[in-house]
């Protein structure tokens, strides 16, 4: 079996020292860090619903620039524009990452044999990043397009999307995939670029973060489902007491 059988053509170019390979690595790492940090902020923003509808409402108004509005209500266009920017970053990240994706069945089989023979933890982490990346290729754009076409956010409107529009099905699949992919990705970037030599400690931190982020994500999702279940159609946007 030759190297060409095991690796995609783009990887062969990288081995040969193609100048684009180094640039693509830097772009992949930079966009990965950006998306990973965004995920950390995003999940904590969403989890503010655990503190109540008022807390989530106030967070939304702050993020959407409510302090610049005479009424104190944020501008949904901010969410739309930010979602478009995130989509562009996701597309760029996926474009440079796909060059390392096994494109043939034989390459997947070779990877599985390699993992079975060599019990290397980083190889297993890379495999799961490939699997979750494949899942996100289909699920992430759906979520982002939803936020672009319907940027209205609020306790009632978000609960309507999750419960009445059955978006919880998408989020239930998206949540573990994006968390696992992001945390493994940040771990691999830190190791790749020499930010730390303590791989064992960093792997433990990544596992803790995966459990933590999935936990707050699940609790948040359940909260939206419970809230949506108690709302009847048509849904009226949440208005805080005293407004």
**120 annotated as a binding-site residue:** no
**What's the pTM?**
0.84
To 10 degrees, the CA torsion angle through 220, 46, 188, 15? 110
pLDDT of residue 65: 86
18 in a known ligand binding site? no
Is 164 assigned to a binding site?
A: no
- Sole residue written with tokens 């020292």: 17
- CA max distance for the chain: 72
Structure-block tokens of residue 131: 């699997």
> Left, alpha or beta for 52 (phi > 0: left; psi -120 to 50: alpha)?
left
pLDDT profile of the chain (243 residues), mean per 10: 45 50 87 95 96 94 82 84 96 86 57 60 78 92 94 92 94 97 93 82 94 97 95 87 64
Q: What pLDDT score does 195 carry?
A: 81
Predicted pLDDT at 116: 61
181: annotated binding-site residue? yes
At residue 29, the pLDDT reads: 92
Q: How far apart are CA 35 and CA 182, in angstroms?
A: 8
Q: Do the Cβ atoms of 158 and 224 come closer than 8 Å?
A: yes
- Domains by residue range for the chain, with CATH: 8-103+119-229 (1.20.1300.10)
């Amino acid at each position: 079996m030759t190297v060409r059988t095991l690796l995609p053509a783009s990887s062969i170019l990288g081995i040969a020292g193609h100048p684009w390979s180094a640039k693509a690595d830097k772009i992949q790492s930079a966009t990965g860090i950006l998306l990973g940090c965004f995920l950390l902020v995003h999940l904590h923003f969403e989890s503010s619903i655990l503190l109540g509808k008022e807390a989530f409402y106030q967070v939304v108004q702050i993020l959407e620039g409510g302090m610049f509005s005479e009424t104190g209500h944020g501008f949904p266009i901010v969410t739309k524009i930010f979602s478009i920017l995130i989509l562009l970053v996701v597309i760029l990240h996926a474009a440079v990452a796909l060059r390392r994706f096994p494109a043939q069945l034989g390459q997947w089989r070779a990877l599985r044999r390699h993992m079975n023979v060599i019990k290397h933890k980083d190889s297993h982490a890379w495999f799961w990043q490939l699997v979750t990346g494949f899942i996100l290729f289909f699920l992430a754009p759906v979520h982002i397009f939803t936020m672009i076409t319907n940027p209205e956010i609020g306790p009632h409107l978000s609960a309507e999307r999750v419960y009445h529009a059955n978006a919880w099905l998408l989020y239930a699949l998206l949540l573990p995939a994006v968390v696992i992919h992001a945390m493994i990705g940040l771990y691999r970037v830190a190791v790749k670029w020499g930010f730390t030599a303590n791989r064992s400690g960093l792997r433990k931190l990544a596992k803790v973060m995966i459990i933590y982020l999935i936990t707050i994500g699940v609790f948040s999702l359940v909260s939206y489902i419970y809230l949506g279940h108690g709302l009847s159609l048509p849904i009226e946007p949440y208005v805080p007491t005293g407004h």
